[in-house]
Chains A and B, each alone.
Chain A
Amino acid sequence: MNPFSSGTRLRDMIRAIRACKTAAEERAVVRKECASIRAAVSDNDNDYRHRNLAKLMFIHMLGYPTHFGQMECLKLIAAPGFPEKRIGYLGLMLLLDERQEVLMLVTNSLKQDLNHTNQYIVGLALCALGNISSAEMARDLAPEVERLLQFRDPNVRKKAALCSIRIIKKVPDLAENFVNPVASLLKEKHHGVLLTAIQLCADLCIVSEEALEYFRKKCTEGIVKVLKDAVNSPYAPEYDISGISDPFLQIRLLRILRILGHGDADASDFMNDVLAQVATKTESNKNAGNAILYECVETIMSIEDSGGLRVLAINILGRFLSNRDNNIRYVALNMLMKAISIDGQAVQRHRATILECVKDSDASIRKRALELVYLLVNENNVKPLTKELIDYLVVSDQDFKGDLTAKICSIVEKLSPEKIWYIDQMLKVLCEAGNYVKDEVWHALIVVITNSSNLHGYTVRSLYRAIQTSCDQEAVVRVAVWCIGEYGDLLVNNVGMLDIEEPITVTESDAIDVIEAAIKQHTSDLTTRAMCLMALLKLSSRFPSSSQRIKDIVNQSKGSLLLELQQRSIEFDSIIGKHQNLRSALVERMPVLDEASYSGRRGGSGVSTSGINNIPNGVVKIVDAPLVDLLDLGVDEPTHPHPHPHPPPPNSSSGANFLHDLLGVGADISSSSPQSGGRNTMHGHKSGTDVLLDLLSSGSPPAPAPAPAPATQKSSSTSDLLSLTQLNNNNNNNNNNNNNNNNKASPSPFSALDTLSSSLPTPGASPMMDLLDGFGPNPTTPPPPTPKEEENGRTYPPIVAFESGALSLTFNLSKQPGSPQITLIEAKFTNKSSQLYTDFVFQAAVPKFLQLHLEPASSNTLPGNASGSITQKLRVTNNQHGKKSVVMRIRISYKLNNKDMLEEGQISNFPRDL
């Protein structure tokens, strides 16, 4: 033979590859072989083409690229002889898939081979077409396949039937062509043909409703008879599998009966007898018999109701469930899932066994059983079932804990009969598998805790105990830290003891120890540490005597490399150290979190419109749906003066929810009840960094309303919607500059928090810092600018813009000549009460179409008895002059006898043509 051809035989190549000791050696051998095959390909070598392709297939199986061999397959298929075609088709199926365009080139060869006189060649072509045909090929070759369904040799007919399945799956509109030929195949005796014809029939029913109707009418009777014969057939060695005659055929017959009987009472009726026969006569000691029974049960469950059969089916499942064979138990669990919707009671009877399966050593069975248990839980059995599951959680595999905790949490949340039980169960889960718990779960737990005020003491004590033993579970630590911060006083004073509790003694320093341990634990992540800092701040107010120790702990985070922690610790340190008067109000107990809106938010509604809708608290006002009010401002008709003025709400277009919170809670500033203004802040924040803000914002209702200006302006779309500018009675020369700086420099909503860092004398800090600084000793008061009337413009009669108790605000309006859209306003504040107002700050906000510029105020103290006044100039530019009138929302904060006061309102009584 050709001495230059690639020498090695297939066998030798396989040997050489197997002899390789390292992957590198193997690669070298394969590379050499591939090189010689490529050479043969480019030489168009005919003699060894089939051998080379065989080698390529082996190489392909090892995972090496073999695309260069694809054309060789086509050449072999085009060759006349059977051996070449055989290996060619094998290579085609192995090296190509239906998505390669090369495949289209083979359509013609396939067509010729489908018409070949040699039935084995026809068989090869059918097999290839059935395995890798694309939609185009299916369409092109469907007529040939259809014709072959009537071929003289049954072995070709069966191949054609399976090939048709591929065709109708690829091109469902071809289905009708196959209906009639299949109906005649169903009458055959040859098992192979029958088997494949039934399968094709089932697939036709799935893709075509008409086919289903046709077979239901014409073939149900015949199929039932075939099944009867198969069940009662005498021993046939050719088809016998462990004493059962052709289980494959029986299974397919049962499957097609299921399709025909589903939703059709007559057809179902027709098959009752034979199904009962299969269910009772089939031996269940071997896998083959069980496979038939399994299929039979499924058919019984799916066809129209027949009470007797269902009982039979459920009994079979019961038997399966108690089988020692894991496979049988697995399929039993699988089938019970389907049975539960049909006969829940019957499935409930097997609850104990199913629960045992949850604890099985086999992951597949555990998973099935857990899904089933989840479906079985109801109000009546939730307690015992949950107990079982939690007990099992303790000993379960690590990799199963995730699934298990998710299911337990879901069950507990869904069906808990009372809050204390819910809290208890959740604590158990958190202690066992806190690291597997999703954030929403512990967020929800905190919401529930805040809502059960009678259990606050109990919960915080339970958590204190829990954290002693389970400090390695992050979720426990977080919840415990939060609760200790919030309810630390209840922990120390044993408030609200329940009868079932054992008394414990916890000192203030014990409580702080817990948090100190948590913040120092190396496994704690940013969120946990941030929560710890927050809790420490709260405790500094709850435990005034330990405040120095807390300050020390907080100080340790000042050097943290995490910016968030560093900044927060510096801020908190200064709050603890320098602002005692502010602190207790700042960290008052959190308002109750709203469960409904929390669950609503969990449900996926990102934007909250619920607003602050709690208790009218006398001093301030009811605030509802601030978002809507904001929009009110923008409408053409100026709204009537609102009876209950709202705080200027920040727009929350892009995740400004926090702001919302911040401001919303700020509105409760002078509320006497800590419960008021319950705003839900537990919305699932994605990044851990949000948490602090979140907790702070809602945890400190009486914060002196830090203005949300920087954050609102952080995106361009929001910036003009509400250009809120605040005035400051001191340091206000910097105001505008700062504002700009800050807007650029702080894309984070935390900029609002910067206000709290009043000890930071950074010049570029946010304007609100100035605002807050007003609370510290502040010596500098710039000289009041001399108010000067603009004489040369148009003037209006002064309006009383705002009046609340003793405080009144009048506006003197004027226009500059030549610029009608600009209005100059001189605001004048007077105080008719006998008290002195200090730290007086005026802020104003306008809708999008207006631009507002505030000048510094004349002073920040307002003497009583109307003996003096503060004046401040505003410049409003109306971009829609003549179409819309000026409206404005204002907020005034001041101190009365060192107590923070806040007034808010909306001014809509401007003259119309401003």
Chain B
Amino acid sequence: MIHFVLLISRQGKVRLTKWYSPYTQKERSKVIRELSGMILTRGPKLCNFVEWRGFKVVYKRYASLYFCMCINQEDNELEVLEIIHHYVEILDRYFGSVCELDLIFNFHKAYYILDEVLIAGELQESSKKTVARLVAAQDSLVEAAKEEANSISNIIAQATK
């Protein structure tokens, strides 16, 4: 089970956090501090796993961003690397060669996508296409609602002219 997902920039700024196990706000910021200290200082050729408080944190760096997932001791680390990559590829497909700025300004989109990939700390969907389709469908629902609202306000605006 994945206990939490963290996206940390190379400067140590948090770009996304998702907690599947209960941590209080205080613990959360402590965890983030501890892990960014551990992970950001590791050299480039080292393995992608760090042992931390009896858990393992699997991390992978993509450009300026570190994607980290915390798992149990007995979980499959190599698979978690694949899950991270899976998520990154979906992000990439969604944003069209994703960069850190996309994730900053559209952080909520990154969360929506993550919610289609993981629930309760478990993988939900192994098909990138399906995830992309589901996110797109929900985005279009939002767009439709917006347009509707606009058109209604237009009608009202015209009627009151």
Residues of A within 8 A of B (CB): 11, 14, 18, 54, 57-58, 61-63, 65, 81-83, 86-87, 90, 93-94, 97-99, 120, 123, 126-127, 130-131, 155, 158-159, 162-163, 165-166, 191-192, 195-196, 199, 238-239, 241, 246-249, 251, 255, 287-288, 290-291, 294-295, 298, 326-331, 334, 361-365, 367
Pairwise interchain contact B127-A192, C-beta atoms closer than 8 A: yes
Query: Which residues of chain A are within 8 angstroms of B43 by Cβ–Cβ distance?
Result: 361-362
Q: A192-B126, A238-B130, A361-B43 are in contact. List 8 more A-B contacts (CB 8 A).
A: A14-B105, A61-B16, A90-B112, A130-B120, A158-B125, A162-B122, A196-B123, A247-B82
Pairwise interchain contact A97-B22, C-beta atoms closer than 8 A: yes
Pairwise interchain contact A82-B77, C-beta atoms closer than 8 A: no
**Given the complex of chains A and B, what is the CA–CA distance between A876 and B130 in angstroms?**
95
B154 at interface, CB cutoff 8 A: no
Query: Which residues of chain A are within 8 angstroms of B123 by Cβ–Cβ distance?
Result: 195-196, 199, 248
Pairwise interchain contact B76-A191, C-beta atoms closer than 8 A: no
**Given the complex of chains A and B, what is the CA–CA distance between A624 and B104 in angstroms?**
76
Pairwise interchain contact B49-A327, C-beta atoms closer than 8 A: yes
Using A11-B105, A86-B142 as known contacts, say yes or no to A295 and B76 having CB atoms under 8 A apart: yes
Using A82-B141, A162-B119 as known contacts, say yes or no to A364 and B50 having CB atoms under 8 A apart: yes
Query: Which residues of chain B are within 8 angstroms of A238 by Cβ–Cβ distance?
Result: 127-130
Query: Which residues of chain B are within 8 angstroms of A123 by Cβ–Cβ distance?
Result: 134
Residue contacts A-B, CB under 8 angstroms, 15 given: A86-B112, A90-B115, A93-B18, A99-B24, A130-B119, A155-B130, A162-B120, A166-B120, A195-B123, A248-B126, A287-B82, A290-B78, A330-B47, A364-B46, A364-B51
Pairwise interchain contact A192-B119, C-beta atoms closer than 8 A: no
**Given the complex of chains A and B, what is the CA–CA distance between A815 and B130 in angstroms?**
104
**Given the complex of chains A and B, what is the CA–CA distance between A751 and B25 in angstroms?**
51
**Given the complex of chains A and B, what is the CA–CA distance between A87 and B81 in angstroms?**
29
Pairwise interchain contact B122-A63, C-beta atoms closer than 8 A: no
Majority DSSP secondary structure for residues of A touching B: helix
Pairwise interchain contact B108-A54, C-beta atoms closer than 8 A: yes
Pairwise interchain contact A327-B79, C-beta atoms closer than 8 A: no
Interface size on B, residues (CB 8 A): 53
Beta-carbon nearest neighbor of A65 in chain B: B25
Using A90-B112, A326-B46 as known contacts, say yes or no to A82 and B142 having CB atoms under 8 A apart: yes
Pairwise interchain contact B134-A330, C-beta atoms closer than 8 A: no
Nearest first, the 7 A-B pairs at minimum CB distance are A291-B78, A326-B47, A162-B119, A130-B119, A130-B120, A362-B46, A248-B126
Query: Which residues of chain B are within 8 angstroms of A248 by Cβ–Cβ distance?
Result: 79, 82-83, 86, 123, 126
B151 at interface, CB cutoff 8 A: no
Query: What 0/1 readout, one digit per residue, does chain B (93-120) give for beta carbons within 8 Å of chain A?
Result: 0000000000011011001100100011
Distance in Å: Cβ of A426 to nearest Cβ of chain B: 28
Pairwise interchain contact A291-B126, C-beta atoms closer than 8 A: no
Beta-carbon nearest neighbor of A89 in chain B: B115
Query: Which residues of chain A are within 8 angstroms of B142 by Cβ–Cβ distance?
Result: 82-83, 86
Of B46, B124, B137, which contacts A162 at CB under 8 A? B124
Query: Which residues of chain A are within 8 angstroms of B48 by Cβ–Cβ distance?
Result: 326-327
Using A62-B14, A82-B141 as known contacts, say yes or no to A251 and B76 having CB atoms under 8 A apart: yes
Query: Which residues of chain B are within 8 angstroms of A287 by Cβ–Cβ distance?
Result: 78, 81-82
Query: What 0/1 readout, one digit per residue, does chain B (68-85) give for beta carbons within 8 Å of chain A?
Result: 000000001111011100
Of A18, A120, A329, which contacts B141 at CB under 8 A? A120
Query: Which residues of chain B are within 8 angstroms of A14 by Cβ–Cβ distance?
Result: 104-105
Of A94, A155, A362, which contacts B111 at CB under 8 A? A94
B145 at interface, CB cutoff 8 A: yes
Distance in Å: Cβ of A137 to nearest Cβ of chain B: 13
Of B49, B79, B83, which contacts A364 at CB under 8 A? B49
Distance in Å: Cβ of B158 to nearest Cβ of chain A: 16
Pairwise interchain contact B124-A192, C-beta atoms closer than 8 A: yes
Of B19, B137, B138, which contacts A97 at CB under 8 A? B19
Pairwise interchain contact A163-B138, C-beta atoms closer than 8 A: no
Pairwise interchain contact A165-B76, C-beta atoms closer than 8 A: no
Pairwise interchain contact A83-B51, C-beta atoms closer than 8 A: no
Using A287-B81, A361-B43 as known contacts, say yes or no to A192 and B120 having CB atoms under 8 A apart: no
Pairwise interchain contact A327-B81, C-beta atoms closer than 8 A: yes
Query: Which residues of chain A are within 8 angstroms of B120 by Cβ–Cβ distance?
Result: 130-131, 162-163, 165-166
Beta-carbon nearest neighbor of A326 in chain B: B47
Pairwise interchain contact A361-B76, C-beta atoms closer than 8 A: no
**Given the complex of chains A and B, what is the CA–CA distance between A191 and B127 in angstroms?**
8
Pairwise interchain contact B108-A87, C-beta atoms closer than 8 A: yes
**Given the complex of chains A and B, what is the CA–CA distance between A83 and B112 in angstroms?**
12
Query: Which residues of chain A are within 8 angstroms of B119 by Cβ–Cβ distance?
Result: 126-127, 130-131, 159, 162-163
Pairwise interchain contact B46-A361, C-beta atoms closer than 8 A: yes
Query: Which residues of chain B are within 8 angstroms of A364 by Cβ–Cβ distance?
Result: 46-47, 49-51
B45 at interface, CB cutoff 8 A: yes
B62 at interface, CB cutoff 8 A: no
Beta-carbon nearest neighbor of A82 in chain B: B141
Query: Which residues of chain A are within 8 angstroms of B20 by Cβ–Cβ distance?
Result: 131
Query: Which residues of chain A are within 8 angstroms of B141 by Cβ–Cβ distance?
Result: 82-83, 120
Beta-carbon nearest neighbor of A237 in chain B: B129
Beta-carbon nearest neighbor of B7 in chain A: A61
Pairwise interchain contact B29-A83, C-beta atoms closer than 8 A: no
Of B18, B19, B79, B130, which contacts A251 at CB under 8 A? B79
Using A166-B120, A362-B46 as known contacts, say yes or no to A327 and B78 having CB atoms under 8 A apart: yes
Query: Which residues of chain B are within 8 angstroms of A166 by Cβ–Cβ distance?
Result: 120
Distance in Å: Cβ of A809 to nearest Cβ of chain B: 66
Instruction: Identify which of B18, B105, B127, B129 gathers the most chain A CB atoms within 10 Å of its CB.
Output: B127
**Given the complex of chains A and B, what is the CA–CA distance between A63 and B77 in angstroms?**
29
Distance in Å: Cβ of A627 to nearest Cβ of chain B: 41
Which B residues, 1 to 24, have Cβ-Cβ distances below 8 Å to chain A?
14-20, 22-24
Pairwise interchain contact A239-B111, C-beta atoms closer than 8 A: no
Beta-carbon nearest neighbor of A158 in chain B: B124
Pairwise interchain contact A57-B79, C-beta atoms closer than 8 A: no
**Given the complex of chains A and B, what is the CA–CA distance between A434 and B85 in angstroms?**
45
**Given the complex of chains A and B, what is the CA–CA distance between A127 and B124 in angstroms?**
10
Query: Which residues of chain B are within 8 angstroms of A251 by Cβ–Cβ distance?
Result: 76, 79
Pairwise interchain contact A63-B78, C-beta atoms closer than 8 A: no
Distance in Å: Cβ of A258 to nearest Cβ of chain B: 11
Distance in Å: Cβ of B111 to nearest Cβ of chain A: 6
**Given the complex of chains A and B, what is the CA–CA distance between A331 and B82 in angstroms?**
15
Of A58, A63, A155, A162, which contacts B29 at CB under 8 A? A63
Distance in Å: Cβ of A70 to nearest Cβ of chain B: 12
Query: What 0/1 readout, one digit per residue, does chain B (23-49) give for beta carbons within 8 Å of chain A?
Result: 111000100000000000001011111
Using A327-B81, A331-B78 as known contacts, say yes or no to A195 and B138 having CB atoms under 8 A apart: no
**Given the complex of chains A and B, what is the CA–CA distance between A365 and B49 in angstroms?**
9
Query: Which residues of chain B are within 8 angstroms of A288 by Cβ–Cβ distance?
Result: 82
Pairwise interchain contact B146-A83, C-beta atoms closer than 8 A: yes
Beta-carbon nearest neighbor of A54 in chain B: B108
Pairwise interchain contact A196-B46, C-beta atoms closer than 8 A: no
Using A82-B141, A82-B145, A327-B77 as known contacts, say yes or no to A61 and B47 having CB atoms under 8 A apart: no
